[in-house]
Structure 1
């Protein structure tokens, strides 16, 4: 046990609360200082890149000037990193890719430099870069999560599910609901192949709920697995139940291990009715249903949703392709992925609420 320093008495009443408040303010100040330093660094790099571009264009300076500039800057500022020829070329590419200084100041300056490099290296044009940059700022993604979202083609998957939201939900809720659902969902982080049964997939998703929530997207909170519904004395069980914090509604997710069939929506609609009558409060919006299946015929899904009055969507989920056992050993483990996401959340099979961390 540590001894109390000589001369110190017990703290007065209210001291502990004041100390906790001070710690929080100091932490916030540290964060603001870090963000301010990052903002100035990103703007400086953009300005250096712009100057290189302008001088090369106006005065005909060749690529050799970057080598010379790197040497001179490192000599002038030996304590600073970032003035290598390679990084100066990135600054030039950064300024060339983002000629609008206002956008750099208002959006990009909120992201660290290594985020900028990921946007430059992994995306082909300004349209997609702007979308991912805005999402990274909105959801506070780490660089690794940003790269993962780019490589999983999040932009192409967002809002691509077949839904009836435009005719079953009012605007702007219908637009937000559509943008909250993807197609397909990527569950390769589970380490399961296409032969896995739906109950195996369901169990693995709950076991690794942090990654599942990250794939679902910001706003989803986990409520429970195999949630019991007692309807007239008969028992029914919802595969997965979530609550969406932005949509202010429950989201029922049903997993089907095969191809989509129209009759699946009948069961989903029954669950939506039960949740609306038994769980939803008067302040919640109507419950949304999402049917996840291994494959679907898009036209069949559109027809099946055509006469449904409840908000529903149909999307596919993708597991790992079947691989020879010797190749599967080279895949990253769940533990490696979880360390990368650095979450630490855990759930049981009960009705717990777990909200996805925005990395």
Structure 2
């Protein structure tokens, strides 16, 4: 019997997909059981906390004797399990079971129990962050910049719910472009060029779902040529995002140009299934009161944020910051 080549290839692809998905599920299941086991061991150790730290060293030796082929039971690891059980309730433990143990240890080291830690767990799950990326985001205080900052936009007025809430959540203030120095970014076009050169780091900082469409993106409107600094499409928001860079302090007149670009992209590029285009104005600095009044009567959905380059970052950021090369090597 002759086998149709195309049918054979299709069947092979389906089988490979089945095997791959099964392997992923098996890995996830094994990780969940491992993390859950560590939490339960921590509970047992906490039940005998009055014995003191010395018994942990003894337990570590005896457990490794009982299971010589299994790693992960050093005294240091057991102490992490104690802390894991003590600081993480059963509900958050269930979420932690979906991320690797290395991520959990990092969170135990760098965050305190509470909303901030829970947010990083949720973001790690949602975005599939590697341990290096999670470490990077904690060091750059993403929670403070994305959740706690007074992000300036008119999204609640110009976008329907829940799109307005999703767009607002995606904003950061300030944005940290640690892969660009002030010397490299002396002019706006220098900053744009460095962003495109380091597009992987740029997309990491912008957040989940951003796809780069182009720099100095050309639009023909009414027979005239216009050029957008940076154009993106966000797959989560299902809309185009126009970014205008200003190597200057925010001025009210900046919103006029950006409003035009947002309207032009809506008219010339956006399809019937796309949500309204969003504009993001990035400035070296801004006065929040001036920005708020400037956006009050603007009908285009626009957000205004500051940005920071590597060598003008506050000490609280820079002292922990890996280089661009370090991050690339660890992703």
Instruction: Settle same-fold status: TM greater than 0.5.
Output: yes
In structure 1, how many angstroms separate the alpha carbons of the residues matched to 2:324 and 2:42?
Answer: 40
2:131 matches 1:143: yes
In structure 2, how many angstroms separate the alpha carbons of the residues matched to 1:84 and 1:153?
Answer: 31
In structure 2, how many angstroms separate the alpha carbons of the residues matched to 1:283 and 1:26?
Answer: 35
- Corresponding residue for residue 275 of structure 1: 265
* Aligned pairs for 1:1-359 within 5 A: 12-13=4-5, 14-56=7-49, 60-98=50-88, 100-105=89-94, 107-159=95-147, 160=149, 161-193=151-183, 196-321=186-311, 334-341=324-331
SS in 1 for 2:304: strand
In structure 2, how many angstroms separate the alpha carbons of the residues matched to 1:11 and 1:181?
Answer: 54
Gaps of 5+ in 2: 314-320
After superposition, the Cα gap between the structure-2 partners of 1:188 and 1:123, relative to the gap in structure 1 and judged at 3 Å, is same
- Corresponding residue for residue 317 of structure 2: none
In structure 2, how many angstroms separate the alpha carbons of the residues matched to 1:166 and 1:82?
Answer: 49
Note if contact 2:132-2:327 (Cα within 8 Å) is conserved in structure 1: no
Q: Deviations over 1:240-276 (max 9, x none)?
A: 1111212221111000011111100011011111111
- Corresponding residue for residue 349 of structure 1: none
In structure 2, how many angstroms separate the alpha carbons of the residues matched to 1:290 and 1:336?
Answer: 29
After superposition, the Cα gap between the structure-2 partners of 1:195 and 1:207, relative to the gap in structure 1 and judged at 3 Å, is closer
In structure 1, how many angstroms separate the alpha carbons of the residues matched to 2:122 and 2:99?
Answer: 10
In structure 2, how many angstroms separate the alpha carbons of the residues matched to 1:20 and 1:44?
Answer: 36
In structure 2, how many angstroms separate the alpha carbons of the residues matched to 1:70 and 1:333?
Answer: 37
In structure 2, how many angstroms separate the alpha carbons of the residues matched to 1:276 and 1:36?
Answer: 44
What is the RMSD of the two structures over their aligned residues, measured on CA atoms?
2.1
SS in 2 for 1:110: coil
After superposition, the Cα gap between the structure-2 partners of 1:315 and 1:20, relative to the gap in structure 1 and judged at 3 Å, is same
Q: 1:192: Cα distance to partner? A: 4.9
- Corresponding residue for residue 348 of structure 1: none
Note if contact 1:241-1:251 (Cα within 8 Å) is conserved in structure 2: yes
In structure 2, how many angstroms separate the alpha carbons of the residues matched to 1:195 and 1:287?
Answer: 27
